A and B are shown apart, each in its own frame.
Chain A
Amino acid sequence: MRTDHPLWHAKHIVRMGLLLLLGVTVMIVVRSLLVPDTWGQYGWYRGANVEEQRDHPLQHGGDASCAGCHPEQEATHAAGAHAAVRCELCHAPVALHAKDDAYFAAMPVRRTAALCVSCHQRLAARPADFPQIRPQEHVAEMGGEYGPEACFDCHDPHAPL
């Protein structure tokens, strides 16, 4: 038998080939372990995630959830210019405040101009028909004095006009 034929010297190549094969196998196994079972059930995500999202406890209750305990504010609010702005936007989700119709923790009250300005600051990117102001100019024009609580001298947050 001839031993000077190149194939006699290909042993290392065979080993490397086997090693590559092993690598590919390991990759396939690892991949099957890493990909979650319900992957691709509905789309490019884990199907079970839909149920997990659905099972999150609700945080927000809407204005109706406040009405029972705060009828006064609810009435003012519903009749005012902020009727379209949800209570929980300016305060916080009801789940942090009351549970099973019982009060359990204080609700934040943000009595600051910064709250109002976050929605009403004049910006080119806002729709033109949305009421917008330049806070300092506006207060000065209306004859008030600007400060961190300035807006509340003239506006009721629940019914600003």
Chain B
Amino acid sequence: MFPELTGYLFPNDVHIAWSLMIVMYPYVTGLVAGAFIVSSLYHVFGREELKPLGRFALAASFCFLLVAMLPLLNHLGHPERGINIIVTPNFNSAMAGFGFLFTSYFIIVLLELWFVFRADIVRYATTSRGAARRFYAILSLGVYDGSAEAVALDKRITRVLAAIGIPMACLLHGYVGFLFGALKANPWWSTPLMPVIFLFSAVVSGIAMLILLYQLAMKLKGTTTDREAVASLARWLWLFMIMSLTLEVLEIMTLGYERAEEWEVISHLLTHQLSISFISIQMVLGGLIPFILLMLVVVMGRFMHDRIHNTLASVSSLLLLLQVLAMRWNVVIGGQMFSKSMRGFRETYVPGLFEKEGVLAAVAIFTLPFVLLLIFERVLPTFDHLRRGPPDDDGLD
């Protein structure tokens, strides 16, 4: 009846309940957290070389945040009931954390955006006309104070918000890993390392995405990319990918060395069902290769022509984005490919193209943040302040 099933399966092991959408959810949330951390490297830690990206990264984080919930809602049979997790959170359920973390993080990002862009908003509100003028007036909350003192206050608040935002972003994404790590019935998920692995790979995907988006944005604007910014991002990317990959390998090594009863299924999983997505993609194509490429960029970048430097960084970023996607897939889908009996397997899972939770839906959802980012850029340009040059006294804005 089910040729894709072998061995001893319980009836509830047959269906892959957590579909492609549940792969997309941690992927998109990871990009949120990663992009935010890049923006904080500038806004909190004052990494001057990342100044060209400070605002852009924040805007990108916000746009990904706006769609982060969509995969979950699409997954629910009754999306209109999704709000219940916020209205009546059950503290016995790990999921309840979502409402609090998501909402508070959302508010923090929104506030930080407002304070970062407020001076611009005020300027647009006073210089534009018609509907645009009214729109910016509303955004400015009717206070047109663009004085140096007010802007200095904004900067101070921005820094505080960004500082609060870092632990919030870490919690938000660590919590997504916790959802898996805390499921003790599933040996492929149940490890305290899970939140940490999720967090590090989130930062990896966020930085990689920004390396690509930043260069794309500069292309679209017809300006040159700031090589120092790309170089700095590449350095951070290398650091975080090393940590992320090490953790991922360590987890498998621990499982393999302990050789507890679950190794039986997990080793089979890794060498059969997940051989391509884990070994080939997550470890080699998306792990080892970008590790080497980024090493070249970081160690020998000085001797490289801009073009080569940025291309190598972009290729590594692309591969790492794929790596993180594969990692999410291996965790989420991999964890459902074997039976809780530890004696049965599902051989394959291929999401349909046109299913409600299929490939097309995933692509559509994943396109949305980029469209939102384009709109955001229209409403509040994230690079203009750089060209205007500095009335920029303390270096941060």
Contact = CB atoms under 8 A, between A and B. Distances in A.
Interface residues of A, number: 20
Given A4-B149, A6-B149, A125-B9, A13 B157 contact: yes
A-B interface, 3 closest residue pairs, ranked by CB to CB distance from nearest:
A9-B150, A12-B143, A9-B149
A44 interface: yes
A15 B157 CA distance: 14
B90 interface: yes
Contacts of B7: 124
A140 interface: no
B140 interface: yes
Given A6-B153, A13-B153, A31-B87, 9 more contacts: A9-B147, A10-B153, A12-B140, A12-B145, A16-B141, A35-B87, A35-B88, A124-B344, A125-B10
Contact of A125 (B11, B92, B114): B11
B142 A124 contact: no
Residues of A contacting B: mostly? helix
Given A6-B149, A6-B152, A34-B83, A15 B9 contact: no
Interface of B: 7-11, 83, 87-88, 90, 92, 107, 111, 114, 118, 140-143, 145, 147, 149-150, 152-153, 157, 344
30 contacts: A4-B149, A5-B149, A8-B149, A9-B149, A9-B150, A10-B150, A10-B153, A11-B145, A12-B140, A12-B141, A12-B145, A12-B150, A13-B153, A15-B141, A15-B142, A16-B111, A16-B114, A16-B141, A20-B107, A31-B87, A34-B83, A34-B87, A35-B87, A44-B88, A44-B90, A44-B92, A124-B344, A125-B8, A125-B10, A125-B11
Contacts of A13: 153, 157
Interface of A: 4-6, 8-13, 15-16, 19-20, 31, 34-35, 39, 44, 124-125
